[in-house]
Amino acid sequence: MNQQIRNSPEMRRIEPRLDPEGLFDMRYRAFLETVSHLRVRLHRYCARMTGSALDGEDIMQEALFEAYRKIGLLDDTQALRPWLFRIAHNRCIDFIRTRRTRLKAEAGYASDEIVLPVEPAGPGAGRAIERLVVHLPPKERACVLLKDVFDHSLEEIAGLVGSTSGGVKSALNRGRAKLAALPAQPVAVPAHDPELERLLGRYVELFNARDWDGVRALTSADARLRVSDCYNGLLSDSPYFVEYDRGEPWRMRPDTIEGEAVLVVDRLHGEVWRPAYFVRIHADGGIINRIADYYACPWILEMVAADG
C-alpha cells in the first residue's frame, strides 16, 4: 500500500475491525469524518439515481460501510472521491435492477435510437435536471447526473460507469434529448394504505407518550433497526428507546415525502417546533419488522425541502 496513506493519522485511526452488526465504533466514525466533505454529494447522487432521498441515504450508508471495510485496498488518497462514487454507483445500479417497478417505469425511455445532441440548459438548471433523470435508463441517468450536475469529466464518468469517453458522449446525447422531450410530470399522489396508516398513527401515539413497552409490542421479535452512523442490527439489542429519553424536547408525527408515508421528528427551538429528521417504518402483516432512523442526516431534509 502507498506509504502516505498507510502512515497518515486518519488511516491509522480507521483501520477496519468492525463487525457489521450492532453499534458502529469510533473507527467508523473517524472514517466518516475523513469523507465528510463527500457525503452530501454522495447522498445527492444516490438519491437522484434511485429517485428517493431515503433510499439514497440507505444506499450511501451501505456504500460507505463497504468502502470502510475495503479501505486497505486504496493506494492513493487522491483516488478517494472516484473510488467512493464508483462503489455508490454500483450499489445504485444493483438497486435499480432489482426494482421491477422502476424498470417498468423506465421502459418507455429505454430506446437506443439515434437522436440529435441537446445541450444542458446552462448554470442553474441542475436541480431541474436531477429531479427528472429518474425517467432515464440507468447508464444515461448516471452520465447526465455526473456531467451536468456534478461536473465530472468524460474520462471520470467512463471509469465510473464502465464505458469509454465515446460511450459516455452517446449516453449524454440520448439522455439530454429524452429529458428535453419529457412531458410535464404529474405530482406523485401517496398510495393510501389504511392498515399502515393506523399502525403509524398508533406508533406515533405510543412514541410521544414514551410508552416503550407499547411501541415494542408493535414490532416483531426479530425487527431490525438502522440508525445512520450509529447502529445496524436487531432492535431488541439496541439502546434506541433509551436515547429518546435523553436530550432536547422532541415530538413525532406522520407525514409523507416523495409519495411515501414516513414519520417526522420535530425538535423544539425556543417556542417553535421544527422538523429535524425522518423515520421510516416497514411492516408486514400489521407488524413492524424494520425501522430506519435518519438521525444526523440533515441533507435529506434539505433535499426534500428544496424539491418541495
**Which domains, and CATH codes, for the chain?**
3-97 (1.10.1740), 100-181 (1.10.10.10), 194-307 (3.10.450.50)
What does the pLDDT average to over 71-80? Answer: 75
Q: For residue 63, which of 88, 97, 89, 30 has the smallest C-alpha distance?
A: 88
Q: Each residue of 92-126: pLDDT tens digit?
A: 999 998 875 544 544 544 443 333 334 444 434 45
pLDDT class of 33 with cuts at 50, 70, 90: confident
How many other β-carbons are positioned within 10 Å of the β-carbon of residue 64? 23
pLDDT for position 157: 95
Checking 238-247 for CB contacts under 8 A at 24+ apart, the result is 240/291, 240/293, 241/212, 241/215, 241/216, 244/207, 244/210, 245/210
Do 300 and 278 touch, CB atoms closer than 8 A? yes
Distances (CA, A) of 179 to 80, 115, 131, 135: 31, 12, 10, 8
pLDDT for position 216: 96
Q: Each residue of 238-281: pLDDT tens digit?
A: 989 988 888 678 999 999 988 899 999 999 988 999 999 999 99
pLDDT, mean over the chain: 82
Q: Report residue 301 as a C-alpha cell.
A: 431534509
With 50 as the cut, is the pLDDT of residue 231 above it?
yes
Straight-line distance from the first to the last Cα atom of the chain, in angstroms, rounded to the nearest whole number: 46
With 90 as the cut, is the pLDDT of residue 129 above it?
no
